[in-house]
Amino acid sequence: MAEDDVTLTGSIKEKLIEAKQGWARDGRLMTGTMADPEQARLPPGQRLVRDWPVLDLGIEPDVTPQKFRLDLDGAVEHRLSLNYDEYMALPFTESVSDMHCVTQWSRYDNHWKGVSARTILEMVKPQKEAKFAIFHAVDGYTTNIRLDQFDQPDVFLVHEWEGKPINRAHGGPVRMLVPRLYLWKSAKWLRRIQFTISDHPGFWETRGYHNNGDPWLEERYG
Ligand SMILES: Nc1nc2c(c(=O)[nH]1)N[C@H]1C(S)=C(S)[C@@H](COP(=O)(O)O)O[C@H]1N2
Ligand SMILES: [Mo]
């Protein structure tokens, strides 16, 4: 696996992970309200920030273009394994979307550039039985969404934010962006998208976070 030779710095924030699991158990940050995304741009319990905070498990992999690899596999007709140049040769789309983190910050009007999920789907052609997309990252992080949530016009593999390459702390060179779900569903340092028939709850989903993560339904913990 390519991640074996990627430099990892820092150490896993065990204390932070335990604290967040505790919050999930206690239902911390829950307002108990719901909102309609058509009516309310800011989901319940969220507050706006101007800067983009960094959140991770304490390890920030140094994925250079030379070490970059992206595997698209699982229940698909065409498996693909792309290096950096092959990724950069894919058709790019620009988009603007809001992001919402379960730790209660939201940031509006982020400008992204990347490859749309629908372009990926056209290339790999999931089998009829495929129902989930599982994101795997270089730091070992995983997260899961349903295939119908992946197959949306605002879902992207992104490599630019506000006109600049996404930096290492935010998951560069390439991360996921699933803007209508809490940001923990948007894997940084994307290494693999696995299309599966059965669900595979990921890092936070198996530590008390909600399996779906819709901010307007306040699906923080589940
Ligand atoms: N690979 C990886 N992706 C990840 C994480 C992580 O620890 N590793 N953390 C998730 C969580 S909990 C959040 S809130 C967002 C934070 O993204 P940001 O640091 O760019 O704000 O990344 C998500 N994607
Ligand atoms: Mo998070």
Q: Per-domain residue ranges for the chain? A: 10-217
CATH class, 10-217 region: alpha beta
Residue nearest ligand 1's atom 5 by CA: 56
Is the pLDDT score of 34 beyond 80? no
Predicted pLDDT at 160: 98
CA–centroid distance, 126 to ligand 1, in Å, is 26
Query: What is the pLDDT, as a whole number, of residue 7?
Result: 72
Please give the full DSSP string across 8-74, using - where no structure is assigned: EES---HHHHHHHHHHHHHTTT-------TTT-SSPTT-EE-SS-----SS-EEE--TTT-EEEEEE
Report yes or no: 158 and 212 within 8 Å, Cβ to Cβ. Answer: no
Q: State if residue 189 touches ligand 1 by the CB under 6 angstroms criterion.
A: yes
Gap from CA of 131 to ligand 1 centroid (Å)? 23
Chain-wide mean pLDDT for the chain?
A: 93
What pLDDT is attached to residue 32?
60
- Full-model pTM: 0.90
| Partner residues linked to 70 by β-bridges | 82
Neighbours of 2 (CB within 10 A): 17
**Is residue 107 pLDDT above 60, yes or no?**
yes
Q: For the segment 182-209, what is each residue's pLDDT rounded down to a tens digit?
A: 999 999 999 999 999 999 999 999 999 9
Give the residue from 77, 206, 199, 97 showing the smallest Cα distance to 147.
199
pLDDT of residue 38: 66
If one residue of 141, 160, 205 were mutated to test the ligand 1 pocket, choosing by the most ligand atoms within 8 A of its CB, it would be 141
